[in-house]
């Protein structure tokens, strides 16, 4: 991958770009450049509204331009095959506004990803909208595929602020009840809530025929626990404080994080929900590849 493209997949570089539309553009250009320089080249071809040829397909639908470039047979997909209604579902809980030492908070990291996915979907002519929630759905933008929709999405994402408490399970149930047609839900959350009702709500959302990609976004410090000595922690939502000896709890803490992520991974796998575990120190391409793989399995 060219260094100039790869650097725009790094959160610390993206933080220096003030405009959300440019952030999205740089992330996508870096990602696509990486795809074309990697074994996943076929992914980028298929994502550009093609699928691999299989025996029985009509030969008149072969894309000979793609064959000339890749030496592989691909079928041009029709609009009915490719279009899917997508929703970017954003967790507005106060905890999403946290960062310890990274350039982006969990929410800013999620917003950059959501903007990049909106960019991809509009390019695909897929309708995409936004749902933002804390204790309930607070903001919504109906899905559209027209080019002007990207500006509408970016404007809404830029206005959103993570504040207060959240009812993740209740909000997911509300979203499930709102949807009238099969949709692709791209959920961004730190999942800092009681796991049982959240898992139940995810299962209900999936069982209604929707496809779900869950981006579990933690701060780098929450994922890796880089603390030393005696540290006072404060809950960003309840403001409760706790002073701990970090050496004494590091092992138990990391084991608890691993148990939580492993449980969500297992539960999502059983429900055919795509689960992408991330932290804010990771380049954005890991999340985008998770989205692309999930979408290909679903459609």
Nearest to 273 by CA among 244, 298, 237: 298
Nearest to 14 by CA among 124, 150, 111: 111
Give the residue extent of every domain in the chain.
Answer: 3-80, 83-298
Q: Which long-range contacts (CB under 8 A, 24 or more apart) does 177-182 make?
A: 178/131, 178/137, 178/140, 179/87, 179/208, 179/210, 181/85, 182/84, 182/85, 182/209, 182/210, 182/211
| Per-residue b or e along 90-99, where b marks 16 or more CB atoms closer than 10 Å to that residue's CB | bbbbbbbbbb
pTM of structure:
0.84
Cα three-residue angle 5-15-289, rounded to 5 degrees: 50
pLDDT in tens for each of the 299 residues of the chain?
A: 455 667 889 999 999 999 999 999 999 988 888 776 665 554 554 555 566 767 767 676 777 776 776 777 777 664 445 568 999 999 999 999 999 989 899 999 999 999 999 998 898 889 999 999 999 999 999 999 998 999 999 999 999 999 888 899 999 999 999 998 889 999 999 999 999 999 999 999 998 889 999 999 999 999 999 998 898 887 777 778 888 888 889 999 999 999 999 999 999 999 999 999 999 999 999 899 888 777 666 55
- Type and span of the H or E element at 159: helix 148-159
CATH classification number, 83-298, choose in 3.30.70.2860, 3.40.50.410, 3.90.1150.10, 3.30.930.10: 3.40.50.410
- What strands lie across the sheet with 274-279, from one edge to the other? 137-144, 128-133, 86-91, 184-189, 211-218, 274-279
């Amino acid at each position: 991958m060219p260094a100039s493209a790869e650097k725009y997949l790094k959160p610390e570089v993206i933080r220096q770009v003030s405009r959300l539309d440019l952030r999205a553009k740089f992330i996508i250009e870096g990602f696509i450049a990486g795809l074309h320089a990697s074994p996943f080249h076929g992914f980028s071809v298929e994502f550009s509204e093609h699928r691999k040829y299989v025996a029985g397909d009509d030969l008149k639908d072969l894309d000979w331009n793609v064959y000339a470039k890749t030496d592989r047979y691909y079928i041009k997909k029709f609009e009915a095959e490719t279009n899917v209604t997508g929703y970017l579902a954003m967790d507005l809980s106060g905890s999403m506004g946290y960062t310890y030492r990274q350039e982006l908070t969990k929410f800013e990291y999620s917003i950059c990803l959501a903007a990049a996915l909106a960019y991809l979907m509009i390019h695909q002519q897929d309708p995409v909208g936004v749902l933002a929630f804390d204790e309930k759905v607070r903001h919504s933008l109906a899905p559209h595929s027209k080019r002007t929709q990207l500006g509408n999405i970016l404007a809404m994402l830029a206005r959103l602020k993570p504040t207060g408490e959240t009812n993740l399970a209740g909000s997911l149930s509300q979203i499930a009840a709102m949807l009238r047609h099969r949709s692709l839900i791209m959920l961004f959350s730190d999942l800092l809530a009681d796991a049982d009702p959240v898992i139940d709500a995810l299962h209900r959302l999936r069982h209604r025929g929707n496809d779900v990609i869950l981006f579990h976004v933690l701060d780098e410090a929450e994922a890796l626990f880089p603390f030393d000595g005696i540290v006072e922690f404060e809950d960003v939502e309840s403001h409760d404080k706790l002073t701990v000896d970090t050496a004494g709890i590091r092992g138990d803490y990391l084991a608890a994080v691993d148990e939580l992520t492993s449980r969500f991974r297992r539960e999502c796998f059983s429900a055919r929900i795509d689960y992408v575990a991330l932290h804010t120190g990771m380049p954005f391409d890991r999340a985008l590849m998770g989205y692309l793989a999930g979408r290909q399995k679903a459609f």
